[in-house]
Amino acid sequence: MESLLAIVFVLLAIVVGAALYFLPLMIAGMKHHPRLAGIGVLNFFLGWTVAGWVVALIWAVSPPPDPPPAAVQIAQVQIRCQTCGVLTAEGARFCASCGREL
């Protein structure tokens, strides 16, 4: 009876330990973090060090980075050609694909 209780305790300790070890990865997965793979690699290989686990945890709870301003600006200055549907710069007079006047 005591050996069965010891086995159950050891298995429970392994499950709880694994859950705590991969806590940063689980948090990042629940938040759909865009850097989930990087957090997982850091957690898997350096999680055994206290510093690696803490860095993975901080990275997992941090907000995702904002898109670079240039990408947002490019998306705002393009228009779609009515004829062929290709995106063209806003100031253009003719479509770059079909040559029709905008």
Mean pLDDT for the chain? 88
Q: 49 to each of 16, 37, 55, 56, how far by Cα in Å?
A: 18, 19, 10, 11
Most confident of 32-36, 63-67, 73-77, 94-98: 32-36
Token pair 């007079």 is at which residue?
93
Interval 64-83: pLDDT, tens: 888 766 655 555 567 788 88
Token pair 């997965």 is at which residue?
29
Q: What are the extents of the domains in the chain?
A: 2-61, 67-102
**Better-predicted residue by pLDDT, 87 or 30:** 30
Interval 39-57: pLDDT, tens: 999 999 999 999 999 999 9
| Positive or negative torsion for Cα 9, 11, 14, 20 | negative
Residue 87: phi and psi, rounded to 5, are: -70, 135
Position 102: which residue type? L
| Positive or negative torsion for Cα 68, 74, 76, 81 | negative
Structure tokens belonging to residue 25: 């990865």
Q: What percent of the chain has pLDDT over 90?
A: 60
